[in-house]
Amino acid sequence: MKRISILSSLLAAAVFAGGASAQQYPTRNVSMVVPYAAGGPTDTVSRVLGQAMGKPLGQTVIVENRPSAGGILGPEYVKNAKPDGYTILIHHVGMATTPTLYRQLRYNPLTDFEYIGLINEVPMTIVAKPTMPAKDLKEFLAYIKANKDKVTYANAGIGAASHLCGMLFMSAIGTDFLTVPYKGTGPAMNDLLGGQVDFMCDQTTSTTSQIKGGKIKVYGITSTKRVSSLPDVPTLQEQGLKGAEVGIWHGLYAPKGTPKEIVDRLAQSLRVALADAKVIEQFAELGTTPVAEDRATPEALAALLKAEIDKWSPVIKKAGVYAD
C-alpha cells in the first residue's frame, strides 16, 4: 500500500515536471538540423524558416548542418537526440526515398519521428557549367549523348533530391552518365560554377540567383508549370521531355516521444512563420511556395510522407538503384 502511494506520487511528480517543462518550452535555443552542407537548398530554406520561427517561439532557432552524401546522417542524429523539442530536423523528399534506396538505413521515417508539418514545395532545374556549349535542351541532350562517357553529373549522394532528379532524367533520356556525389548541392554548385563538373539538377532555391546572374546555363524546369521567378525558363515537358517531372517538398520532424504540447507549439510557430510577409517574399524570390496553413500540420506531413514512399518506391525499384 505504502509502496503504491510512493510510486503514484513519484509518477504524479514526473507528469507534472514533464507538463510544466512542456508548458514553459522553449527556454533556450532550438537547433534545426540540416542533413546537407551549408549553401544548398535545404540549408537556404532552413535559414529563412528558422529566423521566422524564432519570433513566435521567443527563442533563436540555430541552423546546425550535419552533412553527409544522401543526407542520411542528419535524420539518424535527430532520431537519437533527446525528445525535448530542442533538436528538430528539416528534410525533404529524401525521407520518402531513402527507405527504398538504402538496404540498411539506421532510421525509419515512419516510426522514429514525430511530425511537425510541411514547409514548402519547390521545383528543380537542369543546370550546367557556364561553358557548356549547348544553347537549349535539344542541343544539350545531343551534347550529353555524344559525350556520355565523359560527361559528369553532380548530386548530393543517393537519397538526395538531386539524385532523384538525375535518376529520372537519365531514364527519361535513356542515357547513363557518371555521377559525382557531394555532401550537399551547395559545394556541388561551387564546382559547377568552376566547371569541374558538367551539370546537375537542383532546386530553384539554390539555382535562381545563379541563373538570373547568367553564371550557369539552364535547360528546363522539372515542374509541369513554369515558375514565376524564372518566367523565361521553359519546363522540360513543354520542350517534349516527359518522365522527369519532380517536385520537392520539405518537412519538419522531432524525435519520437517529443511531448505533444511541444510538437504543437513547433507546428504553430511553423504556421506563423509561413504566414510572415518576409518569408513569403523570400520564398517567392527563390521560386518556392510555402504550403497552405492546413498543410503545415503533423497530419499533413504524415500523410504526404506515406504517399511519397508509396509513389517513389516502385520507381526506385524499377531503376534498380540501391545503396548499403
| E strand or H helix that includes residue 115 | strand 113-128
Task: Considering the complex, state which of residue 120 and residue 185 has its C-beta at the smaller distance from ligand ASP.
Answer: 185
Of residues 87 and 185, the one with the C-beta less far from ligand ASP:
185
The least CB distance from residue 262 to ligand ASP, in Å, is 26
* Residues that bind ligand ASP in the complex, under the rule CB under 6 A: 36-37, 40-43, 92, 156, 160-162, 184-186
- Which cell goes with 218? 539552364
Strand ranges (E), 129-185: 152-155, 178-181
Quick one: 98 or 235, whose CB is closer to ligand ASP? 98
From its phi and psi, is residue 71 left (phi > 0), alpha (psi between -120 and 50) or beta? left
Tell me the closest approach of the beta carbon of residue 69 to ligand ASP, in angstroms.
10
Cα end-to-end span (Å), the chain: 54
* Residue in 221, 229, 281 with CA at minimum distance from that of residue 247: 221
Look at residue 11 and give its three-state secondary structure: helix
Cβ within 8 Å of residue 159, ≥6 positions away: 70, 71, 72, 94, 97, 98, 101, 102, 323
Cis before residue 26, ω within 30 degrees of 0? yes
Q: CB of residue 261 vs ligand ASP: minimum separation in angstroms? A: 31
Q: Shortest gap between Cβ of 158 and ligand ASP (angstroms)?
A: 10
Return the number of other C-beta atoms located less than 10 Å from residue 65's C-beta: 20
CB of 35 to ligand ASP, least distance (A): 8
User: What residue number has its CB nearest to ligand ASP?
Assistant: 40
SS3 (DSSP) at 304: helix
Cβ-based nearer residue to ligand ASP, 36 or 199: 36
Q: Which is nearer to ligand ASP, 35 or 85 (CB)?
A: 35
132, 214 in Cβ contact below 8 A? no
Query: For ligand ASP, which is the closer residue by CB, 184 or 290?
Result: 184
Give whichever of 123 and 186 is closer to ligand ASP, judged by the CB atom.
186
Nearest approach, Cβ of residue 288 and ligand ASP (Å): 12
| In the complex, least distance from residue 162 CB atom to ligand ASP, rounded to whole angstroms | 3
